[in-house]
Amino acid sequence: MKTKSGIPLLMICFVLAGCASALDLDQKADRTQSPAANARWLTLVMKGNEGVEPLPVTLEYESEKCKEPRSYGVGGQSQSGTMLMRATHFEHVNLIKESVGDAYKARFAIDAGGSCQWKLVSLETSFKYRSNHPLAKGKEATSFRSRFRFGSEKNAVRTPGLRAELSYFPVIYIREDPSKNEVRLRSKSLFLPPSFDPPTSATLYLETNVFGDMAMTVRAAPQDRRSHLVTYPDGATGSSSSEGMVGVEDERMQCLLSSGKSQNRCAAYSPSKD
């Protein structure tokens, strides 16, 4: 009798444990922010040249105090499931153009507080560019996102201000139908934003420059549609087997952007041929 009565009791315990686990996994963190009087704030200032317009900034906040369920999966269903991890949430903030000048600004809390003690762990910026190039006049392109991390990493920048300059150039894709020409943006060089851990409220300055008069052009080769003809702003020509890789980490373009359309100074960097 003892054995028989113990089995239902054991089953009830498992059911109750499962219900408790389910209740834990359904919990949601309180996303209310309430910065303290001594909280750190960040002022973001973005400037760009003609044709550049910042897009909304994506803010990522994280809580060490509150947990939320997250799904994970490694190696198929046998190693997937759900577990409680630090709660995170995202906000999208518009930058407002100043009444005087060409700067856009936004201000938000680094130490956002609230019952979950939210802290800013990253922000992502990007911008929209409207081309004035004769082959793509009025066409728009969106930059890749730049992600700035906030935290106490060993190599973090710990000053009240951080300034970064981002340089880009357009690549014009010429199609058989001119109305379908495209413009894309390429970074002058690889940019790895540093981690930022200001001791007090701080300002992040981002200056964006698109060299609109230094565009590369790309068109399909007439004899081989799988190859693409590339023309540099100094008139030099090359070829590429990959349309999407034109302008990526291109040493000749890096030289031209640094010295202007000086073909002699950049002669050491041959046009792309692959």
Tell me what the mean pLDDT of segment 229-244 comes to.
90
pLDDT for position 18:
44
Any idea which residue has 């970064």 for tokens?
Answer: 164
Between residues 94 and 12, the one the model is more confident about: 94
Instruction: Give the pLDDT of residue 23.
Output: 42
Mean pLDDT of 258-264: 68
**Weakest mean pLDDT among 20-34, 183-197, 238-252:** 20-34
| pTM of the predicted model as reported, rounded to 2 decimal places | 0.80
pLDDT tens-digit map of 193-235: 889 999 999 999 999 999 999 999 999 988 777 789 999 998 9
Does residue 12 register a pLDDT over 60? no
